[in-house]
Structure 1
Amino acid sequence: MLVGAVSGLAWAAALRAFMVEVAGPASTFGWIGTFEGILLPGAVAGGLLGWAEHLRRTGRHHPWLAAAPLVFVLFSPWVVVSMFVDGGLGGGALAVPLFGMAGGYALAGRGSRPARWAAGAFALVPVPTWLVAASAAGLGPPLGSARGAWTAVLFLSLLAVLSLGCALPHRGPPDPSRPAWRLVVAGAVCGLAWGAGMRGFMAAVAEPVSTVSWFGTFGVILPAATIVGGLFGLAEHRRRTGGRARWRRLALSPLVFGVDPGALVLVLPAMAGGYALSGRGSRRGRWSTGSAALLPVPAYLLVVHLLDDIGSLLTPHGAWASVLLFSCYAVLVVACAIPHRAVGPGTGPARTAVPAIGAVPGDPGEGS
């Protein structure tokens, strides 16, 4: 549940970055609207989906947890009233969870095929809707610009991640026989959303002079994040299926971010944190690497103190930007732990029984 809550918090913080881009200069931050209406329900919904994954791995099945995204409506019930009173204003708070729930049902592979196709078609509605809204209605940055394209990628990748999360309560126990490409694609989608969310943090701290370039965003940040996410998906598949020769080298996947050397300031501590979380190695080694994983926190505070006013972190905007950064960082740390973790139970290579000395085939003592 904790991993799910942290992931949900990062997802919600990234969604808030999307809302900033849509609103433009008119965007405002409030403690209630941002933290009570977006970040807190995001963490709760993520925790519920994390619980669903735990239940799934232990052989239990609770499809009702797929409705976890509706927590956003429970925390902000006024949006339902606003949909009717203000001509649909605030309807996105209800539409986004419904799109994710429909996509999750379609991806889960359970139920009748017509129902899954219908749910999948409904989940894809945001794609043409956003293209029309961004192009014809002028909602958000122009779609033909680098900023507009990044905004679209951020929105649609977050919806895809939500659909993947909502699929968990519908699915059965993990099946090691499933092909690797499923987890690779899921990891790549999550990596893309992670990279787009981190780009939102960069835009937030650079305001009001923030610029988005095609090369920096689409040539470096997003491709690197997608590749790293796919490699971590492959690592999870290898872990579930008993591992392969040298598969733990996938722990070096985040070094792909080294195409931008400045990213290593965050990547190297995250890799250390992943080792600490994995539970492998000596306790002293894990404590040492865990301490190294905390270095970005004082470094961030020092940079803010030198370049800005440390008091800005106590504003709604500054607090949100900090939550976005460190929740995304925590997600990266959790992902970095995957290649270090022990092979999944019951998924390792089958053991061959060795007959006991003097045992007769078929004798109860064989293999004892």
Structure 2
Amino acid sequence: MTADTVRPPAAASVPPAGRRRHASVVLTGALIGLTWSAALRGWMVQLAGAESTITWLTIVFVLLPGAAVGALLAQATEAHARGRTPRRVLVWAPVLLAAVLLHPPMLLLLLREGYGSGSLLVVVTALSAGYALTHRRRSLPTVLCGLVAAGGLVAVTGMATLAAPLGTARGVWVGALGLTLLMVLCLAAALQHARPPLVGRGAHIGIGAVCGLAWAGALRAFMAAVVGPDSQVTWVNTIVWILLVGTVVGGVLGYAEWRRSTGRPRPVLATAPLLFAGVLLPGLLHPTAMFADGIGGGAIGVPVLGLAGAYGLAGRRTWARVVCAAVFLTGLTLWVVVADDVGGPGFALDTVRGVWATVLYLGLLLTLALATAIPLRAVPPTSESLRDRVDRI
């Protein structure tokens, strides 16, 4: 082979803009994975109750593997966006979520008493769902994977009975949180295959609703951690004003992504998170108690921070983007400063519980900003060719 036929390394042929885009996609995936794993740990806290203890092993075997899985799944998603086939090995990325079994004491507990089997259930369900969703031909492997995935989802939902009966508000919340977190992982696992499922308007709305419900359930887990054992889960304040509203907000943002992908963006949909402030409407009858214990302030502060972060990411006016980004970063920093004052000494950043709570809360705010920015983002170049298919989806 002569010198003039040697191809340069692949990295050298990628322009700087492409490398920056790749890095941002991977970092975004890692952030989403980290937030997902922190929310999963919050779900585990509700199952275990007072016996739950968060140690530094939580960071090593739960949060870090979640971030790694998110980064790997993001790479596969970017490959599809560029019209390429992801590396086949990425299909197995969810296996990293069973990293806790690398800890010898946990492996022994699994073999002797079955502890740690939950992590295997999550991995097997995600892998099975990924295969079933991307192989539409009716075959024995597809049917078996579909049944395994459905069984895993039912089992995770049923685990809520460890926290409370499914007929109670707490049981519904814990069950919905576990179910939707696993559904999000299953959907992400499907993106690693060579032929991910095609999604239209209804699927966009449905996926958005599932993600919104998972996000709202995770926010309620953070609130429960802050309040402690005195946290009360009710049908109105939790199920309606948090979970139901979160589902609606997610569905609206999913619809916004469908419109953006078809070249018909609607920026006004970025205001959807303000629906969370609807919990304050009944309080208008008692305005002096609306903001008692900081609850009303949070109902306004969280969606406003999400909007500020979204405009800082994808706004059109430079000066407004700078102002909104400053507001958003100030909101993030504020929690770091007052964490131990709000949640007590156990939320200090030099404690593992404080690290977990901070990762969960800041991750929820960052993912809210990313989702809220969807209606504000630029229309993808391929959307022009999709406009003539809008009415057929």
Counterpart of 2:120 (choices 94, 97, 100) is: 94
Higher relative contact order (CA 8 A, sep 6+): 1
Q: 1:198 and 2:219 equivalent?
A: yes
For residue 235 of structure 1, what is the aligned residue in structure 2? 256
Query: Which one has a larger percent helix, Structure 1 or Structure 2?
Result: 2
Tell me, in whole angstroms, the C-alpha distance in 1 between the residues paired with 2:387 and 2:252: 28
Quote the Cα distance in structure 2 between the aligned partners of 1:191 and 1:134: 19
**Residues in 1 aligned to 2:147 and 2:207: alpha-carbon distance in whole angstroms:** 19
Counterpart of 2:170? Answer: 147
Letter in 1 for 2:377: R
* Residue pair 1:109, 1:171 contacting (<8 A) in 2 also: no
Match of 2:44 in 1: 19
Whether 1:253 and 2:289 are equivalent positions in the alignment is: no
Which residue of the partner structure matches residue 105 of structure 1?
A: 131
Tell me which residue corresponds to 1:10: 35
TM-score w.r.t. the length of structure 2 is: 0.81
Corresponding residue number in structure 1 for 2:321: 286
1:68 has 2:87 as partner: no
Q: Show the 5 A alignment for 1:129-144.
A: 129-130=155-156, 139-144=162-167
Query: 1:174 & 1:271 partners in 2: Cα distance?
Result: 31
- Judging changes above 3 Å, is the alpha-carbon distance between structure 1 residues 329 and 309 closer, same or farther for their aligned structure 2 residues? same
Runs of 4+ off more than 4 Å = 109-114, 130-135, 349-352
Answer yes or no: is the 8 Å Cα contact 1:154–1:196 preserved in 2: yes
Q: How far is the alpha carbon of 1:311 from its aligned partner?
A: 6.7
> For 1:269 and 1:311, how far apart are their aligned partners in 2?
22
The Cα of 1:112 is off from its aligned counterpart by 4.8
Matches within 5 A, 1:173-322: 178-243=199-264, 247-261=266-280, 262=296, 263-278=299-314, 280-304=315-339, 306-307=341-342, 308-309=344-345, 312-322=348-358
Q: What does the per-residue CA deviation read over 1:168-203, in whole Å, with 9 as the maximum and x for residues that have no partner?
A: 11254896xx52011110000000000001010000
TM-score by length of 1: 0.86
Answer yes or no: is the 8 Å Cα contact 1:266–1:296 preserved in 2. Answer: no
Residues 110 and 170 in structure 1, CA contact (< 8 A), matched pair in contact too:
no
Equivalent residues of 1:41, 1:75 under 8 A apart? no
SS at match of 2:348: helix
Paired residue for 2:13?
Answer: none
TM-superposed deviation, 1:310: 8.5
CA contact (8 A) 1:83 1:91 kept: no
Question: After the TM superposition, which of the residue ranges 77-86 and 102-111 deviates more from structure 2?
Answer: 77-86
Deviation at 1:130, TM superposition (A): 4.6
Equivalence for 1:57: 81
1 CA distance for matches of 2:245 and 2:77? Answer: 27
2:244 aligned partner, one-letter code? P
Partner of 1:30: 55
Shift of residue 277, structure 1, vs aligned partner: 1.3
Displacement of 1:36 in angstroms is 0.3
Runs of 5+ unmatched residues, structure 1: 353-368
Residue in 2 aligned with 1:357? none
How far is 1:76 from its partner?
A: 4.0
Say whether the 8 Å CA contact 2:36–2:181 is kept in structure 1. Answer: yes
Equivalent residues in 2 for 1:304-343, closer than 5 Å? 304=339, 306-307=341-342, 308-309=344-345, 312-343=348-379
Paired position in structure 1 for 2:11: none
**Residue matched to 1:356:** none
Aligned-residue sequence identity (percent) comes to 37
Is the CA contact (8 Å cut-off) linking 2:122 and 2:182 kept in structure 1?
Answer: yes
Given the superposition, is the C-alpha separation of residues 153 and 240 from structure 1 closer, same or farther in structure 2, using an over 3 Å criterion? same
